[in-house]
Amino acid sequence: MKHLYILRHAKSSWAHPGLGDIERPLNKRGERQVERLNAWLAASEITIDQVLCSPSTRTQATHRGIQTALGETPVEIVKSLYHGRMDDYLDALSAQSADSIMIIGHNPTCDEFTRYLTSPSSPAAEKLMAHHFGTATMAILSFDAAEWTQIGRGSGSLNQLVRPRDLEEDPSDGA
């Protein structure tokens, strides 16, 4: 059994026009998103064996924001996850041996990859179809597979789609 956590980076800032896209930091909303996600991950007792993270500043800041919940989980910076396509995400996974992996990446690929892998009969498939894969959204999938090379279109069960709105303490704060 394989478990995959696809996490889109938290909300980033556009306030620094001189920075390249890869260098954009999180904004205040993004910082609140990762704080809530970190607390949720810690309470959920999810075990992640390996993190694959895009090299962008915002994805690495998202990782740092949830690192308390992840503990000593090894992280690998994967260049192809920045502006990557689904094939790049699949290639990054197929090189791994860990059973439980988190990918921290970008849209549109996080959304497309999740939709590609999700079986229509999944518990959270309807929620995925009804909502945009916004910043700090995490898809939790499981696969009846021994190797990552065995996953493909519709092979995953989307068990949960965690959105920042689901974790809000005060829905009126606009997070």
- List the beta strands (DSSP E) in 22-162: 50-53, 75-77, 100-105, 138-143, 156-162
Look at strands 75-77 and 100-105 and give their pairing: unpaired
Q: Domains of the chain, with CATH numbers? A: 2-11+22-142+162-169 (3.40.50.1240)
- Each residue of 98-111: pLDDT tens digit? 999 999 999 999 99
- Each residue of 64-107: pLDDT tens digit? 999 999 999 999 999 999 998 999 999 999 999 999 999 999 99
Q: Is the peptide bond before 108 cis (omega within 30 degrees of 0)?
A: yes
- Each residue of 34-70: pLDDT tens digit? 999 999 999 998 999 999 999 999 999 999 999 999 9
Look at strands 100-105 and 2-8 and give their pairing: parallel
Flag whether the pTM goes above 0.85.
Answer: yes
DSSP 12: B
Reported as a pLDDT band with limits 50, 70 and 90, residue 158 is very high
- Given a cut of 70, whether residue 169 has pLDDT beyond it is no
C-alpha angle with apex 135: 157 to 85, nearest 5 degrees? 65
Reported as a pLDDT band with limits 50, 70 and 90, residue 17 is confident
pLDDT the model gives residue 173: 42
